[in-house]
């Protein structure tokens, strides 16, 4: 199982989606999830409406690429916050060889443009999206649980058996205790196509190294 941070490995809320949090994550060999949108004709990193302080996507990718290698690529989960960015995202990520990038969370009609540009897409699956759209065309599945852990380890195994990668949203991202989920995932920690997105990657590494 691969572990990635959520909006960087931040130690205070002010560090979310900031360079210091991303660099901390990459230096410890953790990939990350982050948010991509457009601002004044450029692609930037911002969860909410962007301003002039937002990091550009290109500088974010350059930073991550420095910490990766051909044999140990940095995994980046790019949460797409606006429509019509597929061509620009495709061009941006194609410049870097040490990254393992995928996109997710775009509007369903916009997914098609990412397939057309050969950008790896993770389709969503949650308690309100039980049938992942375009599963056959997607590289992986973003497995989420808004209110409680509705899925079982059997479902995770079934999804992995399709040959798709599966990225699971850790419970603390939704303000819940993570203990039950992590206990469920512990027997699956050797699965190479399983990813955990968490706010506490070092804690996860310690827990799943048992």
Q: State how far the alpha carbon of 78 is from the alpha carbons of 100, 109, 196, in Å.
A: 11, 17, 14
Residue given tokens 């982050």 in the structure block: 34
CB 32 within 8 A of CB 25: yes
CATH class of the domain whose range is 2-208:
alpha beta
Query: How much is the pLDDT for 209?
Result: 96
Query: How does pLDDT run across 115-169, given as a tens digit for each residue?
Result: 999 999 999 999 999 999 999 999 999 999 999 999 999 999 999 999 999 999 9
**Predicted TM-score of the model (pTM):** 0.97
pLDDT > 90: percent of the chain: 100
Give the residue extent of every domain in the chain: 2-208
Q: Decide if 41 contacts 35 (C-beta within 8 A).
A: no
What confidence score (pLDDT) does residue 58 get?
A: 99
118 within 8 A of 90, measured Cβ to Cβ: yes
Q: Give the model confidence (pLDDT) of 34-92 as tens digits.
A: 999 999 999 999 999 999 999 999 999 999 999 999 999 999 999 999 999 999 999 99
């Amino acid at each position: 199982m691969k572990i990635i941070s959520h909006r960087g490995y931040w130690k205070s809320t002010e560090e979310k989606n900031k360079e210091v949090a991303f660099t901390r994550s990459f230096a410890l060999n953790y990939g990350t999830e982050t948010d991509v949108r457009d601002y004044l004709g450029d692609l930037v990193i911002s969860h909410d409406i962007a301003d002039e302080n937002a990091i550009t996507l290109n500088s974010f990718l350059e930073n991550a690429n420095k910490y990766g290698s051909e044999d140990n690529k940095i995994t980046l989960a790019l949460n797409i916050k606006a429509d019509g960015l597929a061509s620009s995202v495709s061009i941006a990520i194609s410049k870097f060889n040490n990254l393992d990038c995928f996109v997710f969370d775009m509007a369903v009609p916009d997914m098609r443009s990412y397939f057309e540009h050969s950008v790896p897409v993770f389709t969503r699956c949650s308690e309100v999206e039980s049938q992942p759209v375009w599963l056959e065309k997607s590289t992986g599945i973003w497995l989420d649980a808004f209110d409680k852990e509705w899925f079982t380890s059997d479902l995770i195994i079934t999804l992995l058996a399709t040959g798709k990668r599966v990225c699971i949203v850790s419970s603390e991202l939704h303000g819940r205790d993570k203990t039950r989920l992590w206990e469920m995932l512990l027997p699956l920690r050797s699965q190479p196509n399983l990813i955990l997105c968490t706010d506490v990657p070092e804690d996860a590494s310690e827990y799943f190294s048992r």
